[in-house]
Structure formats: structure tokens, C-alpha cells
Amino acid sequence: MKNILFPTDFTSQSLGVLEQYIKGSGGSSYTIILFASFEMPGSDQDVVGAGNKPHLQVMNEDFRKGCKKLKEKYTDKIGNIYFKYMYGNTNQVFRNYLEFNEIDQIFFPDGFQLLQPHPRFIEPTSIINNAGIPVIRKLPTAQVSKPKQTPSLKAELSTSY
């Protein structure tokens, strides 16, 4: 089973992009790690203040329910789906995170824009580009089976003059 990292901004739109990936990804099963990175606290007040755990502040009930629905809908493809955050913004910290979590691939499609769910949220494009592991950049197309075509019984019209 592969471990796929998916950066998220905790919106239903990001879950929609993830579902497109799941639909078109073939028959393999995997664990999906929803990922967000946050800046380290900048002051003592940030460490002890109300905003000291942004990873808890960004998660919302609609997002949790959406994750649960995805797991229930695609039980044959999703072994597990969960959220793991990271504090820091350097390439080395991210590589350590990837290694520790045994990430095989990152799903981050071209043109995918993340919103800023928290002031300390770090947009992950630059660290993903330097990750050193495969990054899936294109959304797979869903494999749709074509209905069998039956021969047409329509008679061809011919005109004679």
C-alpha cells in the first residue's frame, strides 16, 4: 500500500480535487495523508496564547465529514485517510517529515490553489518542488466504461430521382 501526501487547505474544494484523484487512480489502494505546514511560533505569546495550535484551529467539522464520506465511498482504494501537520518551512524539515511518514508520492496537481486557512499556514509549493520524491502533477481522468453499442436498426434513406 502506497502512502500519498495531499496538501490541503481544509475546504470542500480540496476534497473534490482529492476525489478526482481517487476516481482516476486505478485499482491500487493507499493511505492518504492530508498535509498542512505552519510557521514556527514567532514570540513567547504565540507559544502560550490562544493561537498556539493552528493545526487544531483549521480543522472543521464539514472537512472531517467529507473525509469520512470519501473513505466510506472508496473503501476499495483508501486504506486510511488522516491529517498530519508540520511546523517549519525548510526543505530539510520537509524531507525529514516525508521520510518519517514513509511518503511514497505527493499529489499536488498543476494549478491547484490553496487558500490561507490560518495566518501561520505555509503555502507548500516550494518545499514540494524540492522534495526529492515523485509528485503527481496531473489529475487522472476517471475510467468510465463505455456502454456496449448495439447495431442500429434504422434503415438508411436513399433518394432516387
At residue 152, the pLDDT reads: 39
Q: Residue 158 — pLDDT band, cuts 50, 70, 90?
A: very low
Amino acid at 145: S
Whether residue 152 is contained in a domain is answered as: no
List, for residues 34-61, the tens digit of each pLDDT value: 999 888 776 555 555 555 666 666 678 8
Distance CA 50, CA 103 (A): 32
Whether residue 161 is contained in a domain is answered as: no
Nearest Cα to 86, choosing from 124, 50, 132? 124
At residue 47, the pLDDT reads: 54
At residue 31, the pLDDT reads: 95
Whether residue 151 is contained in a domain is answered as: no
What is the pLDDT averaged over residues 6-27? 89
- CATH number (domain holding residue 14): 3.40.50.620
Whether residue 156 is contained in a domain is answered as: no
At residue 131, the pLDDT reads: 93
Q: Which residue has the higher pLDDT, 161 or 92?
A: 92
Q: Which helix (H) or strand (E) holds 60?
A: none
Whether residue 147 is contained in a domain is answered as: no
Domain range for 109 is 2-136
Residues 6+ apart with CB under 8 A from 55: 36, 38, 83, 85
List, for residues 107-154, the tens digit of each pLDDT value: 999 988 898 888 888 899 999 999 999 999 988 775 544 444 444 333
Q: How much is the pTM?
A: 0.78
Whether residue 159 is contained in a domain is answered as: no
Whether residue 143 is contained in a domain is answered as: no
What is the pLDDT averaged over residues 65-81? 93
At residue 151, the pLDDT reads: 42
Total domain count, the chain: 1
Give me Rg for the CA atoms of the chain.
22
